[in-house]
Amino acid sequence: MSSAEKVSSVQIVLHGIGVSPGVVFGPAFLLSSRALQVIEYNIAENEIDLHISRFEDAIIETRKQIKKLQNNLEKLSDIHDASILDAHLMVLDDMTFIEDVVNTVRRDRKNIEFVVNLVSEKYAQVLAAVNDDYLRERVADVKDVARRLMRILSGDFDNALHDLKHKHIIVSADLAPSETASLRKDMVLGFVTNMGSPTSHTAVMARALEIPAIVALKNVTENVKNGDQILIDGNKGVLIINPDEDQLEKYGKLSEFRKSIERGLANLKLQPARTIDGRKITLCANIEGTSELDSIKEHGADGVGLFRTEYLYLAQNKRVSEEDQIESYADAANAVFPNHVIIRTFDLGGDKYIPDAHIAKEANPFLGCRSIRMSLLYPEEFKKQLRAILRASHRKNVKIMYPMISNAQEVVKANELLEEAKGELRRSGVSFDEEIDVGAMIEIPAAALTAEIIAEHVDFFSLGTNDLIQYTVAVDRVNERVAYLYEPTHLAVLRLIQRTIDVGHKNNIWVGICGEMAADPVLTPLLIGMGVDEMSVAPSMVPLIKDAIRSVSYEQCKELAEKAMECKTAVEVLSICRKMLKDVAPELLELT
């Protein structure tokens, strides 16, 4: 529910998406969403170069400010990777954007402030119209950079967040990542916004800074006034304006209850992910870079079940050298030794493009040249990655995984290139794991239905359930009109998963799951009962999933899986799964 539910004349309850956990209560600070007054005027020909020079100076100053914010973010969040603001730097380095501004000034002879606003709005509108969650979220980056540029050009500096003198809950239509990075953490209890999603930069930064936050409240800025006392529950996405004493007491107890649960989960760090009757599940972590390696140890994961290597490219916005790749892969392998690290080859394409690849625009990029298809299209670039993985494998705890496999021939071609890479290293006298394991991601129905053929060429399967669900039920998850059809417990999805597991075991290969289904403790007993051998989730989710595993017996789980396969609807399956978790670990439902 996103509309306001009036409880009394002064109290309002709003519901949005909780993106950073915690319960906080305090006064609201309504952050002005005022737009800069951009004046349009004509300039003389002899003033053109002056305005372009001012633009270049503003770019330099903006870059300095963002770099400073990155340093501040590292200090505030105690993390070593403030790459969250790299997208802003990418906008500043985008030659298409810069040239568009310069050419417009020369052509139209308009002042630089007006042109920067004009061009950035054009770019923002194009991104906003794209039917892709990741690209739509880049709209905020473009607008944030443009706003910073125009403030520098106009001499209008608004630093309200940094100048807070008392603790507040920030309320805003939207909160740009750079604004979040500039705030004084000791003065901010939490923040809430009209817009946003769980994967937006702002949400990611809220979690990194450990500040409770709610997004997608739609009309919070219309209901909150400066100084209103508000309570936010970042777990459930509930905001109460002017709560009464009973609500304050209720949420105070709830907060303490959740903290006690989390303390208990933290004690599981050194405990194995094993069911009551002794079935061991390998519980690993999904990571996007080496900055998350400490988090793996902190939360007690068994290793890395998915290393998303494409983020090495995306973070630098350029091709990554073989040496840089080796360093990242070796760091991961050494950090989790003797446990394994599964390195997925580049999952590029779709919304993630290889810089300088000059790929033609596609009408349906998620059904086009992406992942293993793109790797096979660029065999030399692919072999560079394969060599880097091999060179990092000398401790024999590295595995290779190919994404988006749709048929066995793709695996055969990839393995042929892997053998070529091995041969090149042998001739150079470089040591590597000659018996390195190779796996295939099963995320396309065609792969699940021909798994027995693919199994002949790999050592393991890993189920990528995000795409498997999307492709099976033909639903775009970011399309609000059909999002309700995205059902992990759809019988067709479960049958494809069960078939993949059965085929894998019949062919003596293990089967893991690295999609979001693995990170839902409600579904943990079901997946165990279906026979999954490994689960890989975000590091922070490891304790919850471990607790769910340790709360059930394998026999219970098998019975649940059998019942699920007899259900008629996805809702029925979800219902019996929730009932089991409520019976064995009811405290986990409070955290999901």
Dist CA 518 CA 535 (whole Å): 6
| CB contact at 8 A, 523 and 517 | yes
| CB contact at 8 A, 314 and 306 | no
CA distances from 565 to 462, 467, 495, 549, 552 (A): 21, 21, 8, 21, 19
SS (H, E, C) 327-393: HHHHHHHHHHCCCCEEEECCCCECCECCCCCCCCCCCCHHHCCCCHHHHHHCHHHHHHHHHHHHHCC
CA distances from 144 to 99, 151, 211, 351, 587 (A): 19, 11, 21, 21, 40
Which residues, in sequence order, are bridge partners of residue 241? 12, 230
Rounded to 10 deg, the angle between the 465-473 and 491-506 helix axes is 130
- Rg of the chain over all Cα atoms, to the nearest angstrom: 26
Element (H, E) at 99: helix 95-108
3-state secondary structure of 404: coil
- Give the phi and the psi of residue 199 in degrees, each rounded to 5: -105, 5
Dist CA 417 CA 73 (whole Å): 42
| Helices within 155-276 (DSSP H only) | 177-182, 201-209, 220-223, 245-266
DSSP 8-class letter at 420: H
Residues with active-site annotation: 201, 514
Name the one residue in this structure whose structure tokens are 């705890």: 397
The distance between the two most distant Cα atoms of the chain, rounded to a whole number of Å, is: 83
470's tokens? 């999307």
CA distances from 294 to 21, 76, 120, 179 (A): 21, 17, 38, 27
| CB contact at 8 A, 465 and 511 | no
Contacts of 399 (CB under 8 A, 6+ apart): 340, 341, 342, 343, 436, 437, 438, 439, 459, 460
